[in-house]
Structure formats: structure tokens, C-alpha cells
């Protein structure tokens, strides 16, 4: 039986959030606050950028010092906005990507670490809207259309993240093609898959960036070893984080391939996001703490 963790890292979409809506359940909220009150550090680790994630997390009531790993590990800040880490995709690499990604029929978006319109830059809202309409509607205030997309880098400002989305087949092809291209070594690729919707999102990050690497830096800075960390996730962009920690937990609704990995490696499986799987995993941790406390009191 592993020791109760000192830190729990939690993904948002498909993990902390239900399948429909943007409200975190009361049970999940209570579990997070109870863990925080018990002295366990809560970390939010998401593919979302900070401005897209913070409004979801603020209502929970976590302390402002809560760490948020965003853009799949490219940017790390506190919930209160204090910056811890940030990494950039060089403008030369981003420019090289623009024409290459058009061949796969997806829609490319670049994320800049700035506030307001222009935080997200793409060529066609309509084209992206056809694929991920809810995301477009939620992010319209931050989106700027630039044609051709290469013009987004005229100022020389580098992005923190690139993203292209399309069908499972097309994004798998794009992933493989980029791995075999002369860009290999200049970028980090993370794919998120939603088979029911035939949708895949391919994130293109600065080299060496991932949720797992961000968690490793955070653990080292806090003097915590992997065995003392739990991570909860549902997709392939969580894989490196799950592999790094000593207590990986995978959601029942996770991408089928990730569920297979979890089963083959003996990782913990929890209930789905619509069944408060995050709360169940955390409540189990808190129950262990209560048993340990009771045992210590008996002596």
C-alpha cells in the first residue's frame, strides 16, 4: 500500500470536468478542498492555457498559491498568476510549421503568452469552428485571424504552443510525419484523442516540454520524490506525467489506448469523469490518512 501522497496533480478536461458543461461537481470540489486542508498540495495540469483554465478552477476555492501547469507543460504559474516557468517555440520553427501543417487538412492555432485578443492566432475561425465549435465559442475574445498565418510572427514574438486538430487518422499521420521530418528535435509532440468524435488534437511544444517534465521540475523544487506524487488523467498528453509519478490514476473514460496501458502496468483505474472519479481517488487517499492518524493515536 503506497503512502498517502504529498502532492496530487489533476488534469481538467475529461478528468476534473464532466463530459458536458464547465462546472466542477460539488463532490470533486469538496475532495480537492479536503485534500488541501489535510496538507496535500493540489496541482492543476492541463493542456489549456491559463486564461482558459483559471475561470474553471477559481470557483473551487483553492489557495492562490496553487500551482497550475498549463499549455501541456509550457507555462507554469500559480492560480494567483505568479509565473514559475515559461518556455517558447522559436519563431523560426513556428514559421517552418505553418506550410507543413496545411497539408494535413487540419486547422493550426498558435498560442502566445499575452493577455487579450491575439493570445490565440489562426487563419480561419470558420474552419476551426467546424471541428471544435465549443472551444471556438469559449475562446472568441482571445482569437485573432491572421492570413497567411506566417504573418503572426512579423513582430518576432515567439509562441508558447502550436496546435492542429483534425480526424484521428489525419493527426496520426501528421504526428508520424513530423517525427520523421527535419523538425524532429526542434519540437515536442503530444496528441489528445477523442475517438467517439473522430477528433484528435496535436499539440506542438518547445522541445523537452510536457506535463511530466513540468512535474519533475516542480517535484525537485519542492523536495518531493515521485513516490510521494499522485497524478490523475485521461488522455495521451497525460502519459508522461502518469509515468513520472509513483501513484498514477487513469479515468474510466480515458482514451482506450491509455486504459490499456494502465491495465498492463497495474496503474489505478478510477470511475469516469461523470461519476466523480477524481473525488473517489482523493477520498481514498484521505481515508488512508485517517486510518494512519487513528493508528498513531492508538499508540
Which residues fall within 8 angstroms of residue 187, CB to CB, at 6 or more apart?
A: 89, 93, 97, 162, 178, 204, 205, 206, 207
Considering the domain architecture, whether residues 74 and 118 belong to the same structural domain is answered as: no
The residue among 205, 233, 259 that closes a domain is 205
Q: Where residue 253 sits, what CATH number does that domain have?
A: 3.40.50.1000
In order along its 299 residues, the chain shows pLDDT tens digits of 577 899 999 999 999 999 999 999 999 999 999 999 999 999 999 999 999 999 999 999 999 999 999 999 999 999 999 999 999 999 999 999 999 888 876 689 999 999 899 999 999 888 887 778 888 898 999 999 999 999 999 999 999 999 999 889 999 999 999 999 999 899 999 999 988 889 999 999 999 999 999 999 999 999 999 999 999 999 999 999 999 999 999 999 999 999 999 999 999 999 999 999 999 999 999 998 887 766 655 55
Considering the domain architecture, whether residues 152 and 75 belong to the same structural domain is answered as: no
Does pTM surpass 0.85? yes
Main-chain dihedrals φ then ψ at residue 29, nearest 5 degrees? -60, -45
Please state the domain count of the chain: 2
Q: Where residue 163 sits, what CATH number does that domain have?
A: 3.30.1240.10
Closest CA to 83 of 17, 163, 160, 188: 160
By the 8 A CB rule, do 204 and 224 touch? Answer: no
Considering the domain architecture, whether residues 82 and 67 belong to the same structural domain is answered as: yes
Considering the domain architecture, whether residues 76 and 216 belong to the same structural domain is answered as: yes
* Domain coverage including residue 257: 7-86+209-298
Whether 215 is covered by a domain: the verdict is yes
Whether 97 is covered by a domain: the verdict is yes
The residue among 166, 187, 205 that closes a domain is 205
The residue among 205, 227, 248 that closes a domain is 205
Q: What is each CA distance from 87 to 29, 59, 182, 201, in whole angstroms?
A: 30, 28, 21, 20
The SS3 call for residue 11 is coil
Whether 1 is covered by a domain: the verdict is no
Whether 38 is covered by a domain: the verdict is yes
β-pairing verdict for 161-166 and 143-145: unpaired
Amino acid at each position: 500500500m503506497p503512502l498517502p501522497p504529498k502532492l496530487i496533480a489533476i488534469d481538467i478536461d475529461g478528468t476534473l470536468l464532466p463530459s458536458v458543461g464547465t462546472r466542477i461537481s460539488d463532490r470533486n470540489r469538496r475532495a480537492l478542498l479536503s485534500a488541501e486542508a489535510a496538507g496535500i498540495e493540489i496541482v492543476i495540469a492541463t493542456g489549456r492555457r491559463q486564461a482558459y483554465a483559471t475561470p474553471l478552477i477559481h470557483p473551487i476555492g483553492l489557495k492562490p498559491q496553487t500551482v497550475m501547469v498549463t499549455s501541456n507543460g509550457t507555462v507554469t504559474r500559480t492560480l494567483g498568476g505568479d509565473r514559475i516557468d515559461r518556455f517558447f517555440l522559436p519563431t523560426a520553427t513556428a514559421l517552418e510549421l505553418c506550410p507543413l501543417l496545411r497539408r494535413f487538412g487540419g486547422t493550426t492555432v498558435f498560442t502566445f503568452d499575452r493577455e487579450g485578443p491575439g493570445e490565440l492566432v489562426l487563419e480561419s475561425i470558420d474552419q476551426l469552428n467546424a471541428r471544435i465549435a465549443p472551444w471556438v465559442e469559449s475562446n472568441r475574445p482571445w482569437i485573432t485571424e491572421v492570413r497567411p498565418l506566417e504573418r503572426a510572427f512579423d513582430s518576432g514574438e515567439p509562441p508558447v504552443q502550436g496546435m492542429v486538430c483534425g480526424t484521428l487518422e489525419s493527426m496520426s499521420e501528421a504526428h508520424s510525419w513530423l517525427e520523421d521530418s527535419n523538425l524532429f528535435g526542434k519540437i515536442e509532440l503530444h496528441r489528445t484523442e477523442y475517438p467517439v468524435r473522430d477528433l484528435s488534437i496535436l499539440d506542438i511544444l518547445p522541445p523537452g516540454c510536457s506535463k511530466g517534465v513540468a512535474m519533475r521540475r516542480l517535484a525537485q523544487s519542492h523536495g518531493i520524490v515521485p513516490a510521494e506524487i499522485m497524478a490523475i488523467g485521461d488522455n495521451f498528453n497525460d502519459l508522461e506525467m502518469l509515468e513520472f509519478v509513483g501513484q498514477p490514476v487513469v479515468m474510466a473514460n480515458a482514451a482506450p489506448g491509455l486504459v490499456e496501458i494502465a491495465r498492463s502496468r497495474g496503474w489505478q483505474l478510477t470511475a469516469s469523469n461523470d461519476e466523480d472519479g477524481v473525488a473517489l481517488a482523493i477520498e481514498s487517499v484521505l481515508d488512508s490518512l485517517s486510518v494512519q492518524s487513528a493508528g498513531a493515536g492508538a499508540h
